[in-house]
């Protein structure tokens, strides 16, 4: 029995705007860990993750792998879209003996075998799978094994967690719907075959009935995108700037954050624009910045105004009052906040430096930086 009850939110990257989905996944994990469920030769857990693209479904599957199996890479992945055509199931479960490729077995089955069944089995775009794919997964859900047709072997999945993902009904607000109603809606939703153009629905009710948890991931809001940008900047970009430029450009002013969020298109384009915007607005600006500050003892912050674009402001010169005014907060709160932020950044940067300390080429530079950061 597993006794580790860590939340999937405590692993990997923090997921914003998915409290409800995360708490339901966590609950299923605690339930499975409790040892109180009768398993009857079925997988440890099974999920259907519903939601639009780029809201954290795959990320959550990896987090599950970390919580359950100690390694976020213990994920056997397969995209049902890859086997949408006739005979497509050969790819997943292996072509029968005599067919081309039968010496290698199935892509999905052999990954699961390599993990000895102790892994998350992640099937993306499940709605695009053929009936044979659904039948193969049904055996896994119901009987606790997957059959590889090439080698005629049954691979046990009783220690595995099955996660299927789908964008089906992504535009439908199903908040607060009872579980039964959600499952019925899935079974009734049209799925268009992009080859034939015809609509049908591959989800049989008996298949849906065997999935333990149908979890809805919410669409992200503008504020979630802003939080993601701020988090990525502080934890990735600011750390890299500290390590490589020896400069503590520790935060984004609210105006700068607002401008980045606007450039990312807010929630409209989703999270995938976030990296692009940080690259073009911040990194490209920094590498060609006129009069880049050189005082390694000071903290800086990105600010933004319409005329000058993104500028680097010296917090020591302008003081915390600058931030307080912008944030419309009392000075106390801001100073506290800045101290926390600065300590956090210093810690993350130091960890990064330590992780790289083995590399002789940068060791000297790293020592200088570490010294500066400790002195500061
Ligand atoms: N809620 C979120 N909070 C923070 N970052 C997120 C969130 N959702 C997604 N991301 C970021 O976007 C990346 C892509 O997310 P992910 O692969 O989990 O999307 P998905 O829901 O599986 O989408 P798709 O349906 O296209 O497969 C993640 O690696 C992460 O960096
Ligand atoms: Mg995904």
Q: Which of 25, 56, 123, 221 to mutate to test the pocket of ligand 1 (most atoms within 8 A of CB)?
A: 56
> What pLDDT does residue 101 have?
87
Distance CA 197, CA 169 (A): 18
Query: Residue 74 has which token pair?
Result: 């213990």
Three-class SS state of 125: coil
Tell whether 63 and 125 lie within a shared domain: yes
Question: Do the bridges between strand 145-148 and strand 309-314 make them parallel or antiparallel, or are there none, so unpaired?
Answer: unpaired
The residue behind tokens 């809201």 is 55
> What pLDDT does residue 323 have?
64
Which residue CA neighbors atom 19 of ligand 1 most closely? 54
Over the stretch 305-343, which tens digit does the pLDDT of each residue have? Answer: 899 999 999 877 666 666 666 665 544 445 565 566 666
Which residue CA neighbors atom 13 of ligand 1 most closely? 54
> What pLDDT does residue 349 have?
62
Listed as ranges, residues in the chain with pLDDT below 50 are 1-3, 330-333, 359-376
> What pLDDT does residue 370 have?
42
Tell whether 231 and 204 lie within a shared domain: no
> What pLDDT does residue 365 have?
43
Output the ligand 1 site: residues, CB below 6 A. 13, 15-18, 51, 53-59, 124, 167, 220, 228, 271
Give the number of the atom of ligand 1 that is nearest the alpha carbon of residue 228: 4
The residue behind tokens 């046990």 is 156
**Which domain, by its residues, includes 203?**
8-216
Tell whether 169 and 127 lie within a shared domain: yes
Domain assignment of residue 346, yes or no: yes
Q: Taking the model in full, what pTM does it have?
A: 0.81
Domain assignment of residue 3, yes or no: no
Distance CA 230, CA 49 (A): 26
CA angle at 263 for the pair 318 and 227, rounded to the nearest 5°: 70
- Burial degree of 49 (CB within 10 A; 0-12, 13-18, 19+): buried
Tell whether 275 and 178 lie within a shared domain: no
Angstrom distances, CA of residue 333 to CA of 257, 287, 321, 323, 341? 19, 32, 11, 10, 12
Domain C-terminal end among 216, 248, 271: 216
> What pLDDT does residue 326 have?
63
> What pLDDT does residue 149 have?
94
- Whether the Cβ atoms of residue 65 and residue 163 lie closer than 8 Å to each other: no
Tell whether 199 and 233 lie within a shared domain: no
Start-to-end CA span in the chain (Å): 48
> What pLDDT does residue 151 have?
94
Query: Residue 89 has which token pair?
Result: 């199931």
């Amino acid at each position: 029995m597993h006794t580790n009850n860590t939340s999937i939110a405590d692993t990997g990257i923090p997921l914003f705007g998915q409290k409800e989905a995360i708490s339901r996944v966590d609950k299923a994990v605690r339930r499975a860990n409790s040892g109180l469920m009768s398993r009857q030769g079925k997988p440890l857990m099974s999920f259907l993750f519903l939601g639009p693209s780029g809201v954290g479904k795959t990320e959550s599957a990896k987090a599950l792998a970390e919580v359950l199996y100690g390694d976020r890479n213990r994920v056997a992945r397969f995209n049902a879209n890859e086997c949408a055509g006739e005979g497509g199931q050969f790819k997943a479960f292996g072509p029968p003996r005599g067919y081309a490729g039968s010496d290698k077995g199935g892509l999905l089955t052999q990954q699961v075998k390599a993990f000895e069944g102790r892994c998350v089995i992640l099937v993306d775009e499940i709605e695009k799978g053929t009936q044979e794919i659904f039948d193969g997964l049904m055996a896994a859900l119901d009987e606790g094994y997957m059959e590889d047709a090439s080698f005629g072997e049954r691979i046990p999945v009783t220690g595995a967690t099955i996660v299927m993902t789908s964008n089906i009904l992504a535009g439908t607000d199903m908040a607060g719907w009872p579980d039964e109603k959600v499952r019925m809606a899935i079974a009734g939703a049209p799925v268009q075959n992009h080859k034939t153009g015809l609509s049908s629905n591959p989800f049989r009710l008996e298949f849906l009935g065997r999935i333990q948890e149908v979890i809805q991931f919410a669409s992200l809001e503008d504020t979630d995108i802003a939080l993601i940008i701020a988090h990525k900047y502080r934890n990735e970009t600011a750390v890299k700037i500290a390590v490589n430029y020896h400069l503590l450009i520790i935060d984004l002013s609210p105006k700068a954050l607002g401008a980045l969020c606007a450039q990312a298109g807010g929630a409209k384009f989703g999270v995938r624009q976030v990296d692009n915007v940080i690259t073009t607005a911040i990194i490209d600006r920094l590498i060609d910045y006129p009069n880049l500050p050189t005082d390694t003892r000071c903290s800086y912050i990105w600010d933004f105004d319409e005329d000058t674009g993104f500028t680097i402001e010296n917090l020591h010169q302008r003081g915390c009052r600058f931030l307080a005014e912008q944030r419309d907060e009392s000075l106390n709160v801001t100073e506290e906040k800045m101290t926390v932020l600065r300590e956090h950044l210093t810690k993350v940067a130091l960890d990064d430096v330590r992780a790289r300390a083995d590399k002789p080429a940068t060791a000297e530079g790293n020592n200088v930086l570490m010294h500066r950061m400790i002195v500061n």
